[in-house]
């Protein structure tokens, strides 16, 4: 279900897009609220959806050896969840599940990747944002060790 | 000092570039070996250089509070060192220092950013690689907690 492009303006990561680019992304996006304990995706599944989270908290779970899934991180607030859907080989590297109610913009990742490769300027801008989120996450993880 | 474009072929992250793109990047690059204990850059400095490391180990140091700099990570092997030189506001987020002799391709980051914005297809390809390196680093850090 396409989203009103105006909704994208709430996200810092879309603010450098042109009107046309924002409209193109909005066509692939659905604004959704999920309750707590909703599994967004599972480790090893194909990266079919990307979640631009506006509000809430998501836990990151890994299968480590034969043990049960273990929580290795929590992401909160304005974040890109499921970044591995943008990175080859486009397979989720973790299971992610909402801890609170979350407000997300859910985007068809395959169609977004196609759009990013048809319009490299758009692709470049979105990648810049993803890089910035990942770098912040690295800093947080390093400081938390 | 420009590098022979052939040298770039040793790096997985340049293998999707065209001949022309590889030649353009090679013009900004210098192949260098540094001895152990060489400081590549310091936290808070402008991100002027990017290092595509081929061999060796680099330690990542943070200033945490008023304490001395503390090692928070080690990166080794084929890696992009100094990724924050590609991410706004282009300021190094850590100090990085060689632990062993290292073999790097040193690239003028300002000129590379300009090239990436003039040729978004090139920018897209390099950012894909940077995303991939950062994602691997996140997985390692999460598993090491």
- The reply to whether residue A117 touches residue B124, judged by beta carbons under 8 angstroms, is yes
Extract the tokens encoding B128: 């894909």
User: ipTM of this predicted complex?
Assistant: 0.92
Q: What is the maximum alpha-carbon separation in chain B?
A: 49
B141: nearest CA in chain A?
A: A141
Q: How many CB pairs under 8 A join A and B?
A: 87
Tell me the nearest-neighbour CA distance from A128 into chain B, angstroms. Answer: 7
> pLDDT for A18-50, tens place per residue?
999 999 999 999 999 999 999 999 999 999 999
Name the nearest CA neighbour of B83 among B93, B75, B69, B71.
B93
Q: What is the pLDDT of residue A11?
A: 86
- The reply to whether residue B139 touches residue A83, judged by beta carbons under 8 angstroms, is no
Q: How far apart are CA B46 and CA B44, in angstroms?
A: 7
Comparing CB atoms, the residue among B93, B120, B137 nearest residue A124 is B120
Comparing CB atoms, the residue among B116, B130, B145 nearest residue A145 is B145
B144: chain A residues, CB-CB within 8 Å: 145
Alpha-carbon radius of gyration of chain A:
15
At residue B109, does pLDDT exceed 90? yes
Q: Which residue has the tokens 């680019």?
A: A21
Secondary structure of residue B80 in the 3-state scheme: strand
What number of residues does chain A have?
A: 145
Residues B70, A81, A63, B84, CA torsion sign: negative
Q: Which pTM was predicted?
A: 0.92
Q: How far apart are CA B72 and CA B63, in angstroms?
A: 10
Alpha-carbon radius of gyration of chain B:
15
- The reply to whether residue B131 touches residue A134, judged by beta carbons under 8 angstroms, is yes
Q: What is the pLDDT of residue A104?
A: 95
B142: nearest CA in chain A?
A: A72
Q: What is the pLDDT of residue B1?
A: 62
- Residue A137 class from Cβ within 10 Å (0-12 exposed, 13-18 middle, 19+ buried)? buried
Q: What is the pLDDT of residue A1?
A: 62
Secondary structure of residue B88 in the 3-state scheme: coil
Q: How far apart are CA A99 and CA B46, in angstroms?
A: 38
Tell me the nearest-neighbour CA distance from A34 into chain B, angstroms. Answer: 25
Q: How far apart are CA B124 and CA B11, in angstroms?
A: 17
Comparing CB atoms, the residue among B84, B88, B135 nearest residue A93 is B135
Secondary structure of residue A4 in the 3-state scheme: coil
Cα B119 to chain centroid distance, Å, stands at 20
> pLDDT for B124-139, tens place per residue?
999 999 999 999 999 9
Residue B6's CB: how many other CB atoms inside 10 A?
9
Q: Which residues contact A10 (CB under 8 A, 6 or more apart)?
A: A54
Name the nearest CA neighbour of A53 among A110, A106, A14.
A106
> pLDDT for B52-68, tens place per residue?
999 999 999 998 877 78
> pLDDT for A53-80, tens place per residue?
999 999 999 988 777 889 999 999 999 9
């Amino acid at each position: 279900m396409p989203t009103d492009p105006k909704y994208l303006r709430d996200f810092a990561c879309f603010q450098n897009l042109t009107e046309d680019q924002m409209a193109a992304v909005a066509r692939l996006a659905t604004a959704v609220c999920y309750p707590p304990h909703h599994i967004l995706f599972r480790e090893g599944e194909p990266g079919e959806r990307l979640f631009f989270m506006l509000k809430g908290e998501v836990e990151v779970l890994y299968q480590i050896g034969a043990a049960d899934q273990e929580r290795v991180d929590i992401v909160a607030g304005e974040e890109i969840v499921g970044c591995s859907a943008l990175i080859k080989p486009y397979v989720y590297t973790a299971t992610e599940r909402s801890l609170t109610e979350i407000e997300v913009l859910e985007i068809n990742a395959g169609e977004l990747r196609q759009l990013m490769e048809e319009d490299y300027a758009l692709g470049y801008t979105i990648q810049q944002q993803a890089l910035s989120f990942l770098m912040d996450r690295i800093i947080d993880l390093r400081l938390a060790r």
